[in-house]
Amino acid sequence: MEKYLPEHFEVDINPDEPLFIISVVSEMIGVPIWTLRKLDDMGVVAPKRLGKKTRCYTKAQIQQLNYIHYLMDEKGVNISGIKVILEINSPNIPKDKE
- Does residue 68 fall inside a structural domain? yes
CA–CA dist 98, 15 (Å, integer): 32
Instruction: Judge whether residue 26 has pLDDT over 50.
Output: yes
Tens of pLDDT, residues 30-74:
999 999 999 999 999 999 998 888 999 999 999 999 999 999 999
Which residue range is the domain that position 50 belongs to? Answer: 19-89
Is 45:68 a contact under the CB 8 Å cutoff? yes
> What CATH number has the domain bearing residue 64?
1.10.1660.10
In the predicted structure, residue 95 carries a pLDDT above the cut 90: no
pLDDT at residue number 2: 56
Does 11 fall in a domain? no
- How much is the pLDDT for 90? 73
pLDDT in tens, 2-19: 566 666 667 777 888 888
**Total structural domains within the chain:** 1
Element (H, E) at 55: strand 54-57
Residue 55 in domain: yes
pLDDT at 94 over 70: no
**Structural domain includes residue 5:** no
Check residue 98 and give its pLDDT.
Answer: 38
Helix (H) or strand (E) holding 88: helix 79-89
